[in-house]
A and B are shown apart, each in its own frame.
Chain A
Amino acid sequence: MTIVLETRHLSRSFNAIRAVDDVSFSLHKGELLALIGPNGAGKSTCFNMLMGQLKPTSGAVFLNGENLAGQTPRAIWRKGVGRTFQITGTYQSMTVAENVQMALISHHRRIFSILPYAHGLYRDEALGFLDLVGMRDQADRPCAVLAYGDLKRLELAIALSHDPTLLLMDEPTAGMAPRERTALMQLTADIVRDRGISVLFTEHDMDVVFAHAHRIMVLNRGRLIADGSVEEIRNNTQVQEVYLGGGTLFKPEAGASRA
């Protein structure tokens, strides 16, 4: 299988604290890879390095073989990496469709264009992406009035708009109702399958992770302590220990006897 994203000995220190410590992993094409770990494990730091918000102290990030370390978020985006944030950051003063159009305008390198009206530019394309995430009927609503779950879906549409090969999703379902969470991850999983996109995501909701991830990595105190299939992670004693005995957070397998 082709490797899309690879990190080698990725580390980041904040003064004396090693927030991310010698993390190496690879992500294959079409894979839905989850990065989990307790609060403060270094997930967000890791993500910020992948997307260029933070510079690694040492180590390297390769996208399709090219080293990304030290590049700006916008340069990395241009190489085909989409991103959604833990807390959404959409453009409040624009409509839903315009939010997607903005990304498309940037993708087509028309940011400094002064002649056309932006209002109608790439609108059909934008509507297509909104259709994909089930937001088409809300295309002309102001972004400021959307419900949080809809904002998350909009963010996904924006992240898909430049046809990325890789999606980085930082807690894609944070702040959503349980039913919405599953729906959004199912949607993501479908899109990944249909478009051959690879996804790396962090998540606190174990139901979501176990239901949708193809593979799971566990980060604790900056170090990768486990990397394997859903089954392997579920039965990994070290992981269970990290999650304080596990039982509270891990649903028993279907069919297993309940205490």
Chain B
Amino acid sequence: MGFFIAQVLTGLANAGALFLVASGLSLIFGVTRVVNFAHGSFYMLGAYVGYSLMQVLPGMVGFWAAMILSGVVVGLIGVIVEFVVLRPVYKAPELFQLVATFGVILVIQDLALMIWGPVDLLGPRAPGLKGVVRILGEPVPQYDLALIVITPFVALGLWYLITRTRLGILVRAATQDREMVGALGVNQAWLFTGVFFLGTALAGLGGAMQLPKGGANLLMDFNILTTVFVVVVIGGMGSLPGAYLAAVIISVLNVFGVVYLPQSTLVLIFVVMVIVLMVRPYGLLGREEVAGEHGQVGEPERPFKPAGRSARLIVALGLGILALLPVYGSSFAQVLATDILIFCLFAASLHFLLGIGGLVSFGHAAYFGGGAYVAALLVKYADTPMELALILAPLGAGMAAVIIGWVCLRLTGVYFAMLTLAFAQLLWSLVFQWGAITGGDDGLVDIWPSAWASGTTAYFYLTLIICTGGILLLRHAAHAPFGYALRAARDSARQAEATGIDTRRVQWVAFVFAGAMAGVAGGLFVFAKGSVFPNELDIARSFDALIVVFLGGVKTLSGGVVGGAAFVTAKDFLSRFEYWRLAMGLLIIAVVIVAPNGIVGSLRKGGERIGLLKTPEGTS
């Protein structure tokens, strides 16, 4: 019994930081509609800043002052980020801001590395609360008890701020209809900045608060991000009590998971999440998102036509030049081209889902990595030849997409996005924790192509043929009746349903199709590298694909492919430098600000402006 209570108390203590971060994320999304991927980074910054401040400020008062100060400091950094990075892109197409916040993640990662170094920092213990209290014979740290007491007060304060003050009223009003709030004379820009300050300050506070328990390290940002997404989804977007409840549930579950099911703690969390969402699709205390509440931002997508003769000729010419690469390029160039082609197919599959279908999946790596692991496992345990493995990889990925799509498509918008991410993380944690079969962190190695395709040039040609075929297939599907039905479901689900289109089934098929195509890319990837590691399934890989699609241009057909090529090339070039993340992050942010329509979209606009391309009617 004592043990049980001690576990619950630990869980409750852990819930504190999680709640703060989650409520910050929820607030920011509610008002600005920005899914702040960089939220974990602010949490990490809070820990680092808190650590430094605690070195300077002495004693008990200094400790708590440092904690609050780090919240303020991180909040101010958040304001700078909002000013520099987000303000220019609020008007950009929906969810484009994601890319900017991802750039911020990279920048903060490298800045933290520069300032605090690569070594994990051990957090100082709270002065006066260093001991343990024995409860029914079990030791419980005093600091944990302090957190358990403090968190509800912070939550109450926040609740008071949101429900009882004028600022809170404005925030809630903006959550429901920010245009109306603007029309009533409230300066939205400052409201956004204020909310961003509050949200990031909460994240920073959370980071500093958990210092005595966990210290500070460079992996904190991504580690907490998934958990926070899960908390927000389970609790209900925009609900503070929901966030608290969910944070407690997840934290307590985690503590018990570590004790009883050490091999599957991560899986446990996601299973609980899926169950909650099956019963209450909008979270425990969330409300249904009204469809069309925050309509499409920016110009509507233009109608498209099958490519004309000249466009086809140019593409054929480009492919021809690419096919001759072994003649004029080094073997390194061929390896790079193989990587680019694989990534382009992966990106194109996400682009189909996201651009044509309007289904923003945050977890598309599940099918890329899934396909890769299917192929690798088949080779490892069943001695499957490469040819068969390459066929079974998309089948495996597609089957995963059948199940995941069925569950996720019960939801829409940001809930859908976060649920797809959670499923991707579920697959990742399965692979990561099921070491006996998947090799865990060590991955699966020694998976090479069949003899005929083992040369660099041969494999390049194999990749070229399959990826080009896949990309053309995706592109044709967009032009086919199926692609039109998918767009119809995106443009007006009501009209589509009222004209006989089963929108959910169309989207489901598209989800599976995109998943299978990502699986093709994953299968090719394994044999190109000879190995596969869990990071092919993780959140960063999913984000890579998202960035590529947004950078290339969501509202253009070739966005995925062009973005993919640009991204891999830039990454390959930049990763030779020590602080390549910083450079990459700054590059991404710069592109976001300069070209809010994506590369292809902005090139097209530029072309129209100088008269190279014909300006279609209805655009400026």
Contact = CB atoms under 8 A, between A and B. Distances in A.
Given A73-B498, A111-B501, A91 B491 contact: yes
A92 interface: yes
Give the bracket for the number of chain A residues in contact with chain B.
Answer: 35 or more
Nearest to B503: A74
Nearest to B618: A145
A116 B495 contact: no
Contact of A142 (B296, B303, B506): B303
Interface string A183-199: 00000000000000000
A102 interface: yes
A142 B616 contact: yes
Indicate the size class of the contact surface on chain B: 35 or more
Most chain-B Cβ atoms within 10 A of its Cβ — which of A51, A72, A102, A103?
A102
A221 B488 CA distance: 36
A77 B479 CA distance: 25
Q: Which of A89, A110, A116 has the most CB of B within 10 A?
A: A89
A116 B303 contact: no
Contacts of A51: 498
Contacts of A145: 617-618
A111 to B, nearest CB: 4
A170 to B, nearest CB: 11
A114 interface: yes
Interface centre among A94, A98, A158 (most CB of B within 10 A): A94
Interface string B277-306: 000000000000000000010011111011
Nearest to A158: B499
Interface string B500-514: 111000100100000
B301 to A, nearest CB: 4
A92 B303 CA distance: 8
Contacts of A89: 492, 494-495, 498
B509 A112 contact: yes
A161 B495 CA distance: 13
Given A91-B491, A94-B303, A119-B305, A110 B498 contact: no
A248 B34 CA distance: 49
A144 interface: yes
Interface in B228-268: none
A1 B379 CA distance: 72
Given A92-B300, A94-B303, A142-B617, A118 B501 contact: no
Interface string B184-201: 000000000000000000
Nearest to B296: A92
A102 B618 contact: no
B587 interface: no
Nearest to B473: A114
A93 B501 contact: no
18 contacts: A72-B497, A73-B498, A74-B500, A89-B495, A91-B487, A92-B301, A92-B492, A93-B302, A94-B484, A102-B484, A111-B500, A111-B502, A113-B480, A118-B480, A119-B305, A142-B616, A144-B300, A158-B499
Given A105-B485, A113-B481, A145-B618, 9 more contacts: A85-B498, A92-B300, A93-B487, A94-B491, A118-B484, A119-B479, A141-B618, A142-B618, A144-B618
Interface of B: 296, 299-303, 305-306, 476-477, 479-485, 487-488, 490-492, 494-502, 506, 509, 616-618
